[in-house]
Amino acid sequence: GAVVSQHPSWVICKSGTSVKIECRSLDFQATTMFWYRQFPKQSLMLMATSNEGSKATYEQGVEKDKFLINHASLTLSTLTVTSAHPEDSSFYICSAPVGLAGGIPLQETQYFGPGTRLLVL
Amino acid sequence: DQQVKQNSPSLSVQEGRISILNCDYTNSMFDYFLWYKKYPAEGPTFLISISSIKDKNEDGRFTVFLNKSAKHLSLHIVPSQPGDSAVYFCAASASDKLIFGTGTRLQVFP
């Protein structure tokens, strides 16, 4: 099946530094990728939709200058947490839809990466 | 404002018995519902889904029921197996975006 990878799997950084997280679709092209974050014992919250060749679409309440998204190619989207603070510590997951195939709804074909755990000290 | 809710954070079931995971939603515009299974340190994997025009969908040991009037869906796993132990998320969609519940940790014991 389709595979989505994330790098790094975990990262610890000092407050004030920037952290880049990569999301790659390994065996398919994705014009759209989604970025989620999950706090402990809470749901996955959609942060933004990454669009190849155009600006990302951010959900309400998500600071676009804080969470920079770049979808530079059909297989790579990056999320950069700028000037990270301890409250940014979270589990960040990306997903990429394979796309419509045989009438399968798009939602079913979203493949998730393994996630990146960020700890800001 | 949590549009998709899973009120039971955990559930413990004996192997061989039925596991029932519940999910409630508030937005009547949702037209597609999905269940995901998640192991620690891994991303969620798709399990089963149901369209709002249906009230039941079955796939092997997994059955999802949808009660639109109650804005409620449930996932039944029967018989439950130890390998089913994981966190289960329900998700709802009105477009390509997924809105997730908070998850229910299922533990199936021998």
Mean pLDDT for back-to-back runs of 10 residues, chain A (121 residues): 87 96 90 89 88 90 94 93 95 83 61 93 95
- Token reading at B89: 């998320």
What residue spans of chain A are helical by DSSP H? none
* Nearest partner of B22 among B80, B103, B109, B107, judged by Cα: B103
Q: Tell me A62's DSSP state.
A: -
Q: What angle do CA B66, B71, B72 make, to 5 degrees?
A: 50
In this prediction, what percent of chain B has a pLDDT beyond 70? 98
Express each pLDDT in B6-50 by its tens digit: 999 999 999 999 999 999 999 999 989 999 999 887 888 889 999
Asked whether the bond before A8 is cis by omega within 30 degrees of 0, the reply is yes
Q: Say if A93 is an interface residue toward chain B (CB within 8 Å).
A: yes
Residue from the list B98, B99, B102 with its beta carbon closest to the beta carbon of A110? B98
Q: Say if B23 is an interface residue toward chain A (CB within 8 Å).
A: no
Long-range residue pairs from B46-50, CB within 8 A, at least 24 positions apart, any chain: B46/A108, B46/A110, B47/B75, B47/B88, B48/B75, B49/A105, B49/A107, B49/A108
Q: Say if A112 is an interface residue toward chain B (CB within 8 Å).
A: yes
Q: Is the pLDDT of residue B4 over 90?
A: yes
- Token reading at A97: 């839809």
Residue from the list B34, B45, B103 with its beta carbon closest to the beta carbon of A43? B103
Give yes or no for a contact between A47 and A67, defined as CB atoms under 8 angstroms apart. Answer: yes
Average pLDDT of the residues in B79-91:
96
Sign of the torsion angle spanned by Cα atoms A87, B5, B56, B77: positive
Q: Say if A30 is an interface residue toward chain B (CB within 8 Å).
A: no
Residue from the list A41, A45, A105 with its beta carbon closest to the beta carbon of B32? A105
Helix, strand or coil, per DSSP, at residue B93: strand
Query: Which residues 6+ apart lie within 8 Å of A30 measured at CB?
Result: A52, A74, A75, A77, A96, A97, A98
Instruction: Give the C-alpha separation, A19 to A118, whole Å.
Output: 9
| CA distances for B73 relative to A1, A60, A97, B23, B106, angstroms | 27, 27, 24, 5, 17
